[in-house]
Structure 1
Amino acid sequence: MGASRLSGAALLLVLLSLAQAGKNFWLFRQYVLRLQEKHAMKEAYGRLQLLAQGPGPRAWHFLDSGSIRQPLDHFNWQDSRTFNQRFWVNRKFWQRKGPVFLYIGGESELMEYSVLSGHHVEMAEKYGALVVALEHRFYGASINPDGLEDHNLQFLTSQQALTDLLSFHRFVIQKYKLAENTTWICFGGSYPGNLAAWFRLKYPHLVFAAVASSAPVKAQVDFTGYDKVVAASLSNPVIYGSKECLAAVTEAFSTVDNLVRARQLAKLAKDFRSCEPLEGMDDSVQLLYNLADIFMGAVQYNGAFSFLPTVADLCSVMTNNRTGSTYQRLVTVNDRFIKTLGGPCMDYSFADWLKVLRDTRVTEASMLRQWFFQTCTEFGYYQTCDDPACPFSHLMNLTSSLSICPQVYNISFRRVQEAVAFTNDYYGADHPKASRVLFVNGDIDPWHVLSVLKNQSLSETAILINGTSHCANMFPSSPKDPLPLVQARQQISTQVGKWLELARTMHQDS
């Protein structure tokens, strides 16, 4: 995608192409990432305009960008292949002997606003830090034109990504002439939250501390806990859920299940605005996943953006008995979601979904093939409905979730299980035994159940924020923030200050 931002029209085309891939949740996540960037852009422009000498980013002389050459395989010195990896640097608040705050990129393109906006940038201003960010290999601009071919994907691993950070650490020290004992603190959210914790765990001599937000450090093949949290959130009055809402959602999905089993596929295709006729069980399960993804995404990002539906929005529809049966209310929810995406219909074809994942072309929409490969080879994270408490369809089971691994990547179920077990053994799962790592989670974020929720030691600590969603603490501060979120950010900032003071003391004593 290069260094430029997408225009509104181009973004809409990307979103629609993803929508027609038939996988709402990943479209939802991609859309949320774009909205985060838009929100960050607005906040950054308003906040930094006064500090610049003219309008727009070009006047931000303190913003550096570029790429470094990285080995494709860090662990094979006989392999000379390389790729370009993009980075961003914000020098605005940097005091010459100040710390370095490293923002770690993840499974999407990394934009300049990763170093211009967010709570880590607010803390950088407070503590005089240099803010640096590195895009994840195989995403965004950090990928060669043939990078998505099967023979290259073997180099898309968290171990390679951590070693990329090691090389970037060395590069930053040299480029900005930093002292070798400069204090580094790394930040990441979601999968990059894992990387932040693991970078401190595996390279404690390079990074002094880490803040890991919404980090599912415990890999799990059958992630039934995700939908347990979704169910709890749909019935949680704190975020305007209710028992009636949960019951209505459960009943609606049961009705869809019954129609699937009765092979009423033409009715389902019409009611849920399928672009093409539904063909058999695979397409039916794809439809069920898409419907569930609307609720899953709303819970995960609840209240993060005014554009996105919240639990309150969905429950107001699902409990409105004046609009018909619970099934009809689910149809209404889906209609509104499709309208939000701007498309006339949804493609529920499982065959089309496989085509998307098999597509090796590097395009503006590239991220799905890479991320699903990582789930098959390291993490699992398959959000199934195998638990009785799941409010969605029990046809959304592990077998259907895992089917992409052999069909797209030629990876067997057994190999997925072995890969997930290795990841947990290698990093320590949700008991990583690191030091100076702060894990931050929101209790309505479904991913929190795979993170560290209680203090593991005096220096491996946790914050669980009441009523907040995925990575909420990483957003820029807002007057509308709920008190628990405000207090959590204060705790994080205080902890960062303590780490920096400890680092100064240790450097003086050495």
Structure 2
Amino acid sequence: MKLNVAIVFLFCQEIFCYNYTTKFLDVPLDHFSFTNNATFKLKYLINDSFWIDDGPVFFYTGNEGAIETFADNIGFMYDIAPIFNALIVFAEHRYYGATLPFGNASFTTPSHLGYLTSSQALADYVYLINYLQTTHQRSDYLSKVPVVAFGGSYGGMLAAWLRMKYPASVVGSIAASAPIWQFQGLTPCENFNRIVTNVYKTATDNDCSAPIQKSWKAIRNITASDEGKGWLTKVWKLCAPLKTSNDVEDLLDWFSEILVNIAMVNYPYPTKFLAPLPAFPVRNFCYKLSGVKITDDKSLLTVIGNSLEIYTNFTKTNKCNKINQTAESLGENGWDFQACTEMIMPMCSDDNDMFENQSWDFKKYSAKCYAKWGVKQTNPELPILEYGGKDITAASNIVFSNGLLDPWSSGGVLSNISATVSSVIIPEGAHHLDLRGENKNDPKSVIEARQFHVNSIRKWLVDFYYSRDKNYFKKTTFFNKITYTHGNNV
């Protein structure tokens, strides 16, 4: 194994600074072959500010984007690390950020992209965890230090699957907003968009999902002519003019994704996760729609365009909008490939939500993926076969948390599976709000969720240390101070 230290980075959010050192570890390109000896450099971030000998490793299972994006927005791990004397590690997912197995050529051919799978990523994490345990074991009492996995969204899925598939590597997992059941046959395809619609419907006294529902037809009416395409290009400040029907379809997809993203990050304070946004961005979006006289398609789309600036130009520094990009900080290209191969999550719309009616058509979806990536998926149930679908009663030591304002809760685990696989519901929570750092505007439900996480982690670690050496466990002192309350971590 080769290890290279890069830089020490300091990120400050409000009054708290998240610092970490950037490192790289050589890992196998293909963990499941004995005939391919190729390796690449896996990037990870590490912080040992709170770590005391034999303390646990808090390990974030990186998802679809540069790992710094998540390290700068997962303050919960930093908040509780001093309680547990923990080493903090954020691992970058292969094919995202700087972790490109084939460098700039990583996305050029299907043969290169074929190694972009969740199973390979999990094996990367196990490889890195083994390295960390080997290099951070200092006493004779333990053969290895315990590891707790954390993850949000796709990263939450990976955290859960890591515990399921490799229980010897992690003692437990906090899987926030992890839609492990958002697959064919497990969750109705319309549930996701109905949650998004309800978030907009209830954000203010006026139901702002109604004008949004009308906007799809208005867009198609306006863009039916070249004059209309030019008008909408100008009003919505698009970087490239709408010229073809494909451009219009791309615009509709972009608009839809932004509406979803605003709902996902509908946090009770300003954030910069997917884009710079104010507190309660859905409410702010809807306020811009309120009290405006709408008489025709153009007046409707004008006010919708103004509302979109909550997401596209809140800082007033964006000169135009690229309709092929909705979240610059995420690796949208890599996720598109994954969504075409193993992460096929059916979505559909009907008259009961605010989106344009669209049925789920796997054959059409597969054909579109083949045209773009040159790969054809014939078994959309592959993740169910690999990870068990809803038959996860054999799992243990996992906490699934879901905010009911988060559309991804549609595919989440919303009830306890067993005595050791728990579900935590956060009624006022958006997308993995509980993994964010403590904030004075946090709702009570997320404070309670974090307390549940701490209690669970404490139990997992107590069980681990006690089972390894009872006498050594009696000598430890940091378990006696483990309490977690809002505004007072220790």
Structure having the higher helix fraction is: 1
- 2:369: which partner in 1? 405
Q: Distance in 2 between matches of 1:450 and 1:113?
A: 21
Q: Report whether the alignment pairs 1:94 with 2:69.
A: no
Q: Report whether the alignment pairs 1:202 with 2:162.
A: no
Q: Distance in 1 between matches of 2:12 and 2:216?
A: 34
Distance 1:423 1:395, change over 3 A: closer
Q: After TM superposition, give the deviation of residue 379 of structure 1 in Å.
A: 0.8
Instruction: Identify the match of residue 158 of structure 1 among 115, 118, 129.
Output: 118
Q: Distance in 1 between matches of 2:441 and 2:360?
A: 39
Q: After TM superposition, give the deviation of residue 504 of structure 1 in Å.
A: 2.8
Superposition map of 1:8-23 within 5 A: none
Letter of the 1:147 counterpart: S
Deviates more, 1:439-448 or 1:116-125: 116-125
Instruction: Identify the match of residue 311 of structure 1 among 248, 273, 282.
Output: 282
Q: Distance in 2 between matches of 1:394 and 1:265?
A: 22
Q: Distance in 2 between matches of 1:213 and 1:200?
A: 14
- 1:186: which partner in 2? 149
Q: After TM superposition, give the deviation of residue 147 of structure 1 in Å.
A: 2.3
Q: Distance in 2 between matches of 1:329 and 1:115?
A: 33
Distance 1:425 1:243, change over 3 A: farther
SS in 2 for 1:381: coil
Deviations 1:18-53 (A, max 9, x none): xxxxxxxxxxxxxxxxxxx956485226xxxxxxxx
- 2:291: which partner in 1? 320
Superposition map of 1:414-493 within 5 A: 415=377, 418=379, 420-433=380-393, 434-493=395-454
Is the Cα–Cα contact under 8 Å of residues 284 and 310 in structure 2 kept in the other structure?
no
Q: After TM superposition, give the deviation of residue 224 of structure 1 in Å.
A: 3.3
Superposition map of 1:249-398 within 5 A: 249-260=212-223, 264-303=228-267, 305=270, 307-308=276-277, 310-322=281-293, 325-334=299-308, 337-340=311-314, 342-348=317-323, 353=324, 367-381=331-345, 383-384=347-348, 386-394=349-357
Letter of the 2:266 counterpart: N
SS in 2 for 1:379: coil
Instruction: Identify the match of residue 175 of structure 1 among 135, 139, 160.
Output: 135
Distance 1:272 1:115, change over 3 A: closer
Q: After TM superposition, give the deviation of residue 451 of structure 1 in Å.
A: 1.3
Q: After TM superposition, give the deviation of residue 131 of structure 1 in Å.
A: 1.8
Q: Distance in 1 between matches of 2:14 and 2:117?
A: 30
Distance 1:278 1:395, change over 3 A: farther
Is the Cα–Cα contact under 8 Å of residues 70 and 84 in structure 1 kept in the other structure?
yes
Distance 1:249 1:494, change over 3 A: same
Instruction: Identify the match of residue 224 of structure 1 among 164, 169, 190.
Output: 190
Deviations 1:450-505 (A, max 9, x none): 11110000101010101111111111111221111111111111111122222233
Letter of the 1:248 counterpart: P
Is the Cα–Cα contact under 8 Å of residues 100 and 131 in structure 1 kept in the other structure?
yes
Is the Cα–Cα contact under 8 Å of residues 285 and 310 in structure 2 kept in the other structure?
no
Q: Distance in 1 between matches of 2:439 and 2:310?
A: 28
Deviates more, 1:389-398 or 1:287-296: 389-398
Distance 1:243 1:454, change over 3 A: farther
Letter of the 1:305 counterpart: P
Deviations 1:201-260 (A, max 9, x none): 011122111100111112436843221111011112xxx334521212212333224435
- 2:209: which partner in 1? 246
- 2:24: which partner in 1? 67
Unaligned runs of 5+ in 1: 7-36, 46-56, 58-62, 357-363
Unaligned runs of 5+ in 2: 472-490
Distance 1:105 1:502, change over 3 A: same
Q: Distance in 2 between matches of 1:403 and 1:284?
A: 20
Distance 1:402 1:391, change over 3 A: farther
Is the Cα–Cα contact under 8 Å of residues 102 and 132 in structure 1 kept in the other structure?
yes
Letter of the 1:477 counterpart: E
Deviates more, 1:447-456 or 1:146-155: 146-155
Deviations 1:399-443 (A, max 9, x none): 88666412221133xx1x51x301112112344331110001111
TM-score normalised by length of structure 1: 0.78
Distance 1:81 1:181, change over 3 A: closer
Is the Cα–Cα contact under 8 Å of residues 398 and 422 in structure 2 kept in the other structure?
yes
Letter of the 1:233 counterpart: V
- 2:77: which partner in 1? 120
Is the Cα–Cα contact under 8 Å of residues 151 and 158 in structure 2 kept in the other structure?
yes
SS in 2 for 1:96: coil
TM-score normalised by length of structure 2: 0.81
Letter of the 1:425 counterpart: L
Moved over 4 A (4+): 2-6, 37-42, 260-264, 322-325, 335-338, 395-404
SS in 1 for 2:148: strand
SS in 2 for 1:149: coil
Q: Distance in 2 between matches of 1:112 and 1:129?
A: 21
Letter of the 1:428 counterpart: G
Q: Distance in 1 between matches of 2:85 and 2:470?
A: 22
Q: After TM superposition, give the deviation of residue 70 of structure 1 in Å.
A: 0.6
Letter of the 2:425 counterpart: L
Is the Cα–Cα contact under 8 Å of residues 107 and 371 in structure 1 kept in the other structure?
yes
Is the Cα–Cα contact under 8 Å of residues 224 and 383 in structure 1 kept in the other structure?
yes
State percent identity of aligned pairs. 25
- 2:107: which partner in 1? 148
- 1:14: which partner in 2? none
Q: Report whether the alignment pairs 1:43 with 2:16.
A: yes
Distance 1:381 1:124, change over 3 A: same
Letter of the 2:63 counterpart: G
SS in 2 for 1:76: coil
Q: After TM superposition, give the deviation of residue 64 of structure 1 in Å.
A: 4.4
Letter of the 1:329 counterpart: V
